[in-house]
Structure 1
Amino acid sequence: MFKKLSIVLFSMSLFSLVTADTNTPLLCYVGGTMRPAVEEIIKLYEQKYNQKMSLDFSGSGELMIKIRQTQKGDIFIAHDPYLAAVQKEGLSDKGWVLASVTPVIVVQKGNPKKIKGFKDLTRKGLKIILTDDSYSTLGHLLPRIAEKAGVTQTLEPNVVSRPRSGSEAANAVSLGTADAAIVWDAVAHLRLDKLDIVPIEPAFRPISGVDAVTSATYGRMNMGNIKVTAALLKCSKNKIAAAQFGEFLAGPEAAPIWKKFSFGPAFPTPSWIQNNQSTLSGSLFIYCAAGMRKPVQELTKAFEKESGVKIETSFDGSNKLLGQMKLTRKGDVYIAGDAEYLDMAAKEKLIGSARQTLCYFLPVMMVKKGNPKKIASLADCLRPGIRLGQGDEKAAAIGILTPRILAKNSIDAAAWKKNVVLNTPTVNELGNAVKLGTIDVALVWNCIADDFPDDGEAILLPADKNIVPPVEGATLAFSKNLPAAEAFLQYLVSDKGLLCLQNNGYLVEKP
């Protein structure tokens, strides 16, 4: 069964009307790399909010096993890929990005071996320690770094040990049993009295958004930006207090402490924005499917702030937007609720050279909270008296997809239409109609149903009977600001963009 892989950034105002239980200690699981910073943040938090804390420090993998087995705890603080892992196992569906870590070379104090860069680690006679990729995230990055440096074969003879953690590797160098090791910058920072840091050359480091590894357990991990995260555990008995602490960990008061312990920012400005800030200017006009309103509104504001480009956006049904583009032949980017609309636009020669999959829409049946009509399948929607809502087949992406889903489920289209009492030009209006009780059920995107947690709920379709369309964006052939249009499209699938999509319930991987 599909499990939503969302990371929800709570706002403190959401909890302002509810008092957190500060007397019951929050149980926080903390990966070893984050321990010193978290201990200092917790001291500040306890002083400010009088919240009691109980901490469990260990390796992130061991902590995840403990969470799985005990089903106890409130917050899990680790670095990639453990947030994705607990989400895939259904242990959490809410979290925060707190900071980031970067790999560096550590050498003995004074650098007696005169190691100046990554390629120097291949010099004959050096003793090098690399972490074990069975237990270490950094262990997964090292082969890519070695490949970029062209030393995959020549580095291996110098490797004398592969411990589980970077702390073990750094300690071995400080004790003189090895000449160098690759560890996180935050790990190195704690041992500056005994070690020196040699940066890995930028040309050899993984590139954010380009270098990635995907696994069945963890999903896609961006090697170029290893994030420190906090997960709100589903087993928490004190979610209000836990969520408030999660907000604090990711907030402005904790940021200086993360920096003090050499953690990087949660969202580094993408290199392609840094490199092009002097050339990005002017304005953009974006045509955007109504079902993408929430994340696109958030990301346009962030892009404007980071790039200086002003953005105007038109939200409507995908087909209506297509008609506007054909009529005006103005604008810069088109974001459609289904790739079919971009195909149509391409046939009309409206699309430019850049086209990008942004996320995926999962069609679900949205019903009133508690499902009073006991609707469990599409066939139930044909019962007498059931009031159906449907997206307009000529305007909304969900509308054009509905007949295909009905056919795949052997549902008679004529019988379906007999129960349709409402046609809407956008999918968003269907969610509101269920909320207001105007209709009993409608096919909508999962993210739309998620917008109404107090008024509606989603009924999943069988995976083999569903159609999951990609949401795509493209630059327009008549764009007057192509550099900014292409940069905005890249921004939508940057780490910040993907997290924003996940925050709002959108799928960034096809289920």
Structure 2
Amino acid sequence: MKPWPVFGQASVGISRMLQVKPTRFFVNLFLCELDGKVIRKRFIMAESSHKYGERGGSGWILLLATAFLASLMVFILNNDSSLLESGEDQELLVYCAAGVKRAVEEVAGKFEQELGIKIVLEYASSGVLANKLKTDRESGIARADVYIPADYVYTERAAADGLTAESMKVASWKVVFAMKSDSGQSPDNVDALLEQKLSIVLCDPLAGVGQKTKKMLQNSGHWTAIEATKTATFPTVTEAALAVKENAGTHGAFIWDSVARQFGLKVVELPELESSKADISVAVTSSTARPSKALKFARYLAAPSKGGDVFAAHNYQPISGDVWALNPKLRIDCGGVNREAIEKTIKEFQQRESCTIDVVYAGCGTLVGKMQTGDQGLPDLFMTCDASYLDMIQKKMGNPFGPDVRLSSTRIVMLVAKGNPMEIQSLKDLGNPGLRVGTTDPKASTLGAMSHQLIRETGQFDAVKENIVMMADTAHTLVQTMEAGEQLDVAMVYEANVQHLNGSFEFVPLENDYAIAVQNVAASKTTIYPNLATRLMERLGSITSRRRFEQLGFQWEADSE
């Protein structure tokens, strides 16, 4: 929030007396709506002492006071973005697996100190926390903002159940057999462990390590014997570790290696547990009223210089996330045909992620040319008018982009006046004497290149070329020219370009397979924000995005892959 102006000092004094934030005090004076959340304050109107026919000197003071408060309200709302997220503005509730308590507590403390957002942590096993998320939803209570389970399988289940949205992997660990530090000979395998008749404890299968241990030992055929041998089962991994360390009669436990080292226990890696690696992740809950703040905390946990350093210090294997930035910035080079379909999605993504997306719209020929010259460097993402342009840049520049996501397609059509007065039925008709044809520039535009190629395939290119009176920079320019009238008889555009036109026009579809342009998107391999770029690609492939593309006449392709 920006510094208060001089006239705000009085409001600060009043708010201190009321023991509320200045922002909160003035918001409570009004009924307003912020980001879909309604803030209500009940007004009790006292009986007026004003009598009609009598002059009073207080009316103008009341008017000025009202104007002052209204102006101050506008100032506050424009300068305190925290109000855009309801609830306790500077607090996040995190459901956290007990095994990552020490690391997450330390990261949360640093986050609070740097950003001023309080983190409230609730610990339990991953399964218990997942059940709490379900219970919260069934009760209609939006409690947790963030969920940090011990194994990514819990994150996947939570997402499938609609409990979480975005997620990021932050660190990994594996199951080991942990013993007291002064233990004698370590068992070489599970069979040797059973032969030694050691007193062992397990973790409940609701805990991530308990579930992983059971799976590994079931695969090796030892689960029944181990379960029969156990002396106790603990709800969390930290309780099991503490039992080994403090209880003289407990020889060992199957726990996470990171926790074993944190408690100073002897780590024994058994061959039956070789494939027990699990990824710790952080997920934003679907019900949070503070998604931007929750995502900031998630990105902070995953950033190598923030959470990564802390996890490493606590004996986890960090999984490198995006470089930390309070407000990260992405550049996307985007074919102009996609503009109307993605603008709202981009805006929503920026608001949710607290990031900046610079979108450069142009013909794909122009965009690819700029990438090759290297003047502006590669964009973080490239969204094409047609997939052939991504193939082109991959071939010419040594595959600088990662795997693509195929999103949509649209057909090239011939736009004509209502009733088709020139009787244009096929591409060959574009060579009719005196016809005025418009295309986009084939050197700068995917549409232009594809249109000219389609005409060449008819064998009539020379005749049609004589009739091309306009090669515009974009299809939008062609449509505007057709709407203006008297300059063009026909224009080659995308079907998606003409959905908004009224009954004054119609279009002639082209049946050639080459007349279909497929739009895809890919992220640069060198972007410093690969996770953010991936989330943007996922958002562009979402159900909401699909609806926007289809409303504009695109065919949706993402679900067909």
Q: TM-score, normalised by structure 2?
A: 0.42
Rg: which structure is higher? 2
Q: Where is the helix percentage greater, Structure 1 or Structure 2? A: 2
Looking at both structures, which has the greater relative contact order when contacts are Cα pairs under 8 Å and sequence separation is at least 6?
Answer: 1
